[in-house]
Every structure is written in structure tokens, then in C-alpha cells.
Amino acid sequence: MNAFWIILTGSLVATCCSLLGCYLILRRMAMVGDAISHAVLPGIVIAFLFTGSRDSLPMIIGAGLLGVITTFLIEFFHRYARVQADASIGITFTWLFAIGIILISVFAGQVDLDQDCVLYGEIAYVPLDLWITDNNLSYGPRTIWTLGFVTLLIIAVIVLGYKELFLTAFDPAYAAAIGISTSVWYYLLMTAVSLTTVASFESVGAILVVAFLVGPPATAYLLTDNFKKMLVLSVLIGIVTSIVGYYLAFWLDGSIAGAMATITGLAFLLAFLFSPTHGQFFKRRKVIPA
């Protein structure tokens, strides 16, 4: 049963991250998830200082707020300081991460506040954190309920706002010309990314979150030129990656998150080489004379 919960957790994270990652790749902001996962450290520390508690809920709230602030600062520096998006991401997350380290060393140095546990998690521990009622009824791992809710929320946002998200990602100038607020949909997308990242990395680890944000969407991007198919393919690739990665880790007796992230890289490599439309193997065959 533990294997089922772990694979389900990985599949839920893969679904959320893959859907949002498709939009991030089109916007050339694929590494924003990595930035958020590091930049939220000050929010975790501030939440602890205000509440005096190391419970997950206040820390997730604090991290979530810092995630939204991070996306605002990235866009602010990119738009008003006129630096490239990747430079804006790098400046923002290193600055906020450094502030978080200073806050820990000054205000929480004597407290057992394990930022590595909060930031990097361990998916193998998911089956141990059960939701048990006062009547001793078990509803399964808490993480499943949290990620299940986030997954439904992300799907609802994409279904209801598909046209707006699609246009603002592909052609923001045209979207603005027909009256769609590019800023509103940008911040909605970034808020969804922040929510997904914060809800996921405590359980599965920041590395796996970033792998799912980039790997399956990039692989799907090589396999199709249709955006709707890209969304579906990225989710399927993410789910298959979770299953194969778990059994690879079981076979090697190694890190589950590391194995899943490795499989995302292998899937991308296969698509890069053998994609019918963009694969290097088929491109080379086309140029070889008969």
C-alpha cells in the first residue's frame, strides 16, 4: 500500500507541475519553480517567528505568500529594471534565499528549524503522515488530500481560463489588443505555480518539483506542435515517470525522488533523439541522400 501512496503522490505533483510547466516553457520562465522553492525560506522563518510553531500549515501559508511576492519581484525587475527574465529570476531568488539564511542565523539559531526538511522533503515519508480523526479513523496521508485539492484547483483554472492563458502565453500583444489583461493572467499563473510548488516540495522535494515543472512539458514540446496535445502528453509523461521512477528506486534501493527526476531526463533524451517531428535521428535521416 505504501507504494500506491508514493506513486499517487508523485502522479499528483506531476499533473500539477506538468500542466503549469507547459505555460512556463512557452513564456521562457521554466526555472521560476526553482526560484520559488528557494525564495520562500524567509516566509517559513517569519511564519515560525510569528506563530512559534513548526506545524506545516503556518509554514505553508508563509511560504505561499513569499512565493507570490517572489513572482511579483521577478516581473517588477524584468519590466522596470529592463533586465532579462532569467537574470531577474536569479537575482530575486538568491537575494530572498540569503535573507532567509540570515533570519535563521539571527532569530532561530537555537531552534530545531530544519529548513532542509521543509524545503526538500522526502516522498518516501508520505505514507507515514496520516490524517487520523478523533475517532481513530484514518483517511490516508494528509499530503494526498492537499495535493488532490491543488490538482483540482489547477485543472479548474486551466479549463476556465484556457483562452486567456493561451493567448497571453503565445501572443501577449494581441491579447492586450483585444482587451485581455496580461498582468492579471500572468500573476494568476504565477500564483498557481507558487501554490503548487509550496504544496509539493515539502513532501516530494524541491528537485522533483523542478524536474516535473520542466521535464515532462519539455518532452511533450518535442513530441507535438498542438498545445492541447502538449498539455495531455505532459501529464501522461509525468505519471509514467512517477511509476517507472518508483520501481527504479526500488530496484536500486536508492532515492525515489532522484529516480523519478532521472527518468524525466531520460524521457526528454529519448524525445530529443527519436521524436517524429523534432528528433535528431529523423532529422538526420531526412538530409541523407537516397
Q: Can you give the pLDDT at residue 286? A: 57
- Taking residues 28-37, what's their average pLDDT? 77
Tell whether the model's pLDDT for residue 110 goes beyond 60. no
Q: Annotate 165-195 with b (16+ C-beta within 10 A) or e (fewer).
A: bbbbbeebeebeeeebeeeebbbbbbbbbbb
- The listed range with the strongest mean pLDDT (35-39, 106-110, 195-199) is 195-199
Query: Cell 527526476 maps to which residue?
Result: 261
Annotate 94-126 with b (16+ C-beta within 10 A) or e (fewer).
eebbebbeebbeeeeeeeebeeeebbbbebbeb
Give the phi and the psi of residue 130 in degrees, each rounded to 5. Answer: -90, 150
> What average pLDDT score do residues 87-115 get?
74
Please name the amino acid found at residue 274: F
Output the pLDDT for position 120.
53
Q: What percent of the chain has pLDDT above 90?
A: 21
Mean pLDDT score across all residues of the chain: 81
Q: In the predicted model, what is the mean pLDDT of residues 218-224? A: 91
Q: Tell me, what's the pLDDT at 197?
A: 81
Highest mean pLDDT among 79-88, 121-130, 176-185: 176-185
The stretch 187-207 carries a mean pLDDT of 80
Give pLDDT tens digits for 126-172. Answer: 777 777 777 777 777 888 888 898 899 999 999 999 888 888 888 88
The per-residue pLDDT for 234 is 95
Q: Which pLDDT value is given to residue 276?
A: 77
Check residue 159 and give its pLDDT: 92
Residue scoring higher pLDDT (84 or 111): 84
pLDDT class for 235, splitting at 50, 70, 90? very high
* Domains of the chain, first to last: 2-123+143-276 (1.10.3470.10)
The per-residue pLDDT for 290 is 46
In this prediction, residue 69 has a pLDDT band, given cuts at 50, 70 and 90, of: confident
Give me the pLDDT at residue 279, please.
66
170/229: higher pLDDT? 229
Lowest-confidence pick of 55-59, 221-225, 259-263: 55-59
Instruction: Please tell me which residue, 140 or 9, carries the higher pLDDT value.
Output: 9
How confident is residue 284, by pLDDT bands cut at 50, 70 and 90?
A: low
Pairwise CA distance, residues 90 & 55, whole Å: 30
Residue 27: exposure state from Cβ atoms within 10 A (0-12, 13-18, ≥19): middle
